[in-house]
Amino acid sequence: MPYAQMGYWQPDYEPTDTDVIAVFRITPQTGVDAIEAAAAVAGESSTATWTVVWTDRLTACENYRAKAYRVEQVPNRDDQWFAWIAYDLDLFEPGSISNLTASIIGNVFGFKPIKALRLEDMRIPVAYLKTFNGPPTGIVVERERLDKFGRPLLGATVKPKLGLSGRNYGRVVYEALRGGLDFTKDDENINSQAFMHWRDRFLYCMEAVNRAEAATGEIKGTYLNITAATMEDMYERAEFAKELGSSVVMIDLVIGYTAIQSMSNWARRNDMILHLHRAGHSTYTRQRDHGVSFRVIAKWMRMAGVDHIHAGTVVGKLEGDPATVAGIYSTLRDEHTHQRLEHGLFFDQPWAALNKVMPVASGGIHAGQMHQLLHYLGEDVILQFGGGTIGHPDGIAAGATANRVALETMVMARNEGRDYFHEGPEILRAAARTCGPLARALETWGDVTFDYTSTDSPDFVPTSTPT
Amino acid sequence: MKLTQVTFSFLPDLTDEQISAQVRYCISNGWAVSIEYTDDPHPRNVYWEMWDLPMFDLASPTPLMDALAACREANPGCYIRIAAFDSTKGWESLRISFIAQRPTTEPGFFMGRGYGPGRSIHYSARPYSANQPPGKRYQ
């Protein structure tokens, strides 16, 4: 029996306020009807199996069936459809990203009658959001704790990623922080290797953080990566970071949703900022035809409860279409995210007072792009210049100073009402006249850009209303 | 050393004209603007002394700039910062904070190290100026 006839296609269905709603992009196999494909996705992500089972009749199965209620062709694609599917709230365990995702993306992505499938967006009902604690710190409290208001924060990832001894690693942290950055960061694959045991790294890093605080009178931090093989190891590393007085710890997305929620609870109990590096996400977020959009991952991570998440730079070396990145930033930072198709946002999403997540922009950015970064990413963001700090010809501290001066100059110009986006290069050149490190940074990297076509851009373009 | 807390502290000290422009920006956003001062610039000294209450519903930067002048005159050797509060739901905290006066010499901080088990060190920072009682520092 076709899925559409088993009750998984209900064009008259009106989603309730407590339904979870998902929008999928479906590419059916040749000859498979779009509505049947949508019904199959609804079925396979809820109660159905490939045949009718009599045990359905022992349950209130009407209730548990997901309902595809709307199918629309993707603009400019004759082989793809968007399907809206509603799920009853009772299908999901309270406060569990693992359970939510095991349903929504569990089986269905390998289903033979569809060639490709992508989860584009989800509407999480307030009733379900309220079962999650969300970010342990959030943007506002993080700023209060760090005493940093009115500008993006600045960071750098220690480079080279691998091979530095603990002692040499701490040197990079110290120089970058005293030079003007707020944070430094372990990279995703710095855990506990032969060249640097994790305890050594933590000890030298905290020496560096405290030295830099005393040298500047300003609160500093370093994201100590506690990613490890087991939860026991991660808890041990987190506890040591706490004992040493670190204000922030870091985890990688590859540890999994359950581990992320566990570490979020730990961070909440211990007043710790929790940084998430989205290691691995591009394996399933980047291609438009198949996988999960990063805006959905961002939504899940705000629910799971992280304080920082890497979310794109627009101008840097990694994937990041401006409109798509704007949609992701709205998802992380807004009180209420509004539907905006040209940013890839299919739904209004009230956030029910869940804390806001600080997006992190990292990967191939430099001081010469400061006007663009401020324009595209706004104020509540951490700008991370790794190569753009450590690669400065006059040293790491000079690189940090160049970034901080460029940032503060641009914020000041913006606040004064100048057209900083267009006058940006001129504003930076003027600031460089009294700041040697900024002058050198502009000489060195002024022309570096990564201008490639994005693979993940929204399907909808804004159209002007005729007057 | 130069204390580099909050925003604009890596730029040359702000002129009154620049301060006034920032205050105008705060007013245009509907924020309340306040003046705070201290002679204890420890990075974790949250509560600087308030110079009167935050100014709500300002129509122009002038009253704030007048109050800043008075605060400077009364506290010539102190750090003074200007901070703006946003009462919007979901924020309800500071939106900007920047230094509007600093002492002519800034001796900086002594970092103490206390030894703990397993090579761990407990750090503390103490302003050199804290050896003097409040009111006698930075003179």
Annotation marks residue A159 as catalytic: yes
CA distance A354 to A334: 10
The mean pLDDT value of chain A amounts to 94
Using one digit for the tens of pLDDT, what is the confidence trace for A369-382? 999 999 999 999 99
Active site residue A375: no
Collapsing DSSP states into helix, strand and coil, what is residue A258? Answer: helix
Residues 6+ away with beta carbon under 8 Å from A275: A185, A223, A248, A249, A250, A251, A306, A307, A308, A360
* B5 chain-A contacts, CB cut-off 8 A: 147, 217-218
pLDDT at A75 over 80: yes
pLDDT > 60? residue A87:
yes
pLDDT value at position A464?
Answer: 57
pLDDT band at A147 (very low <50, low <70, confident <90, very high): very high
Confidence of residue A303 (pLDDT cuts 50, 70, 90): very high
Residue A248 exposed, middle or buried by CB count within 10 Å (0-12, 13-18, 19+): buried
> What pLDDT, on the 0 to 100 scale, is given for residue A155?
97
Contact partners, residue A326, CB within 8 Å, separation at least 6: A343, A376
Read off φ and ψ for residue A301, nearest 5 degrees. Answer: -75, -30
pLDDT at A364: 83
Which residues, at least 6 apart from A332, have a Cβ–Cβ distance to it below 8 Å? A298, A302, A309, A311, A356, A357, A358, A359
When pLDDT is cut at 50, 70 and 90, the band that residue B10 belongs to is very high
- Asked casually if ipTM beats, i.e. exceeds, 0.95, the reply is yes
> What's the pLDDT score for residue A463?
59
Tokens of residue A393, six digits: 């010809």
Per the rule left: phi > 0, alpha: psi between -120 and 50, beta: everything else, A214 is alpha
Residue A31 confidence (pLDDT) above 60: yes
Cβ within 8 Å of A, B 86-115: 89-98, 108-111
* Residues B12-46 pLDDT 10s: 999 999 999 999 999 999 999 999 999 999 999 99
**B120 part of a folded domain:** no
Distance CA A368, CA B8 (A): 18
Q: pLDDT class for A315, splitting at 50, 70, 90?
A: confident
Mean pLDDT of A154-182: 96
Instruction: Give one word for B52, left, alpha or beta, with left for phi > 0 and alpha for psi -120 to 50.
Output: left
- Does residue A465 carry a pLDDT above 70? no
Q: And the tokens for B10?
A: 């890596």
Give A318's pLDDT tier (boundaries 50, 70, 90).
confident
Query: A320: pLDDT confidence band, cut at 50, 70 and 90?
Result: confident
Chain B partners of A411 at a C-beta cutoff of 8 Å? 7-8
The answer as to whether B134 is a domain residue is: no
pLDDT average, residue stretch A96-125: 95
Query: Is B28 part of a structural domain of the chain?
Result: yes
Share of chain A above pLDDT 70, in %: 99
Task: Give the model's pLDDT for residue B33.
Answer: 98
Instruction: Answer with the residue of higher pLDDT: A178 or B117.
Output: A178
- Model pLDDT, residue A296: 98
The stretch B74-85 carries a mean pLDDT of: 96
Residue A256 is predicted with a pLDDT of 98
Is B10 within 8 Å of A434 when comparing Cβ atoms? no
**Residue B23 covered by a domain:** yes
Return the pLDDT at A9.
96
- Looking at chain A, the whole-number percentage of residues with pLDDT higher than 90 is 85
Domain that holds residue B53: 16-106
d(CA A357, CA A298): 9
Q: What is the mean pLDDT of chain B?
A: 95
For residue B13, the 8-state DSSP code is P
A434 in B contact zone (CB under 8 Å): yes
CATH number where B31 lies:
3.30.190.10
Find the CB nearest B11 among A140, A408, A415. Answer: A408
B111 lies in a domain?
no
Which member of A115, A130, A148, A159 is catalytic? A159
pLDDT attached to residue A453: 75
Q: Please write the tens of the pLDDT for every residue from A265-300.
A: 999 999 999 999 999 999 999 999 999 999 999 999
- Of A223, A216, A224, A222, nearest in space to A179 by CA: A216
pLDDT tens across A383-412, in order? 999 989 999 999 999 999 999 999 999 999
Judge whether residue A467 has pLDDT over 60. no
In a domain, B2, yes or no: no
d(CA A261, CA A267): 10
Chain B neighbors of A244, CB-CB under 8 A: 120-121
- Asked if residue B99 belongs to a domain, the reply is yes
Nearest to A347 by CA among A126, A86, A122, A128: A122
SS3 A379: coil
pLDDT in tens, A436-463: 999 999 999 977 777 777 778 888 876 5
**Rounded to whole angstroms, how far apart are CA atoms B47 and B27?**
23
Let me know if residue B118 belongs to a domain. no
Instruction: Read off the pTM.
Output: 0.95
Cis preceding-peptide flag for A160 (omega within 30 of 0)? yes
- Identity of the residue in A149, A405, A411 whose CB atom sits nearest the CB atom of B97: A149
What are the two backbone dihedrals, phi and then psi, of residue A5, each rounded to the nearest 5 degrees? -85, -10
Per-residue confidence (pLDDT) for residue A164, from 0 to 100: 96
Domain count, chain B: 1
At A51, the pLDDT band (50, 70, 90 cuts) reads confident
- The helix (H) or strand (E) run that includes residue B122 is strand B121-127
The DSSP call for residue A109 is G
Between residues A112 and A196, which one has the greater pLDDT? A196
**Mean pLDDT to the nearest integer, A315-338:** 91
CA distance B5 to chain A (A): 5
Q: Which of A144, A353, A408 sits opposite B10 (nearest CB)?
A: A408
Is A236 in CB contact (< 8 Å) with chain B? no
Residue A462: the pLDDT is: 67
Taking an 8 Å cut-off on Cβ atoms, the answer to whether B10 and A151 are in contact is no
Model confidence at B131, pLDDT cuts 50, 70, 90, reads confident
A219: closest chain B residue by CA: B43
d(CA A176, CA A154): 10
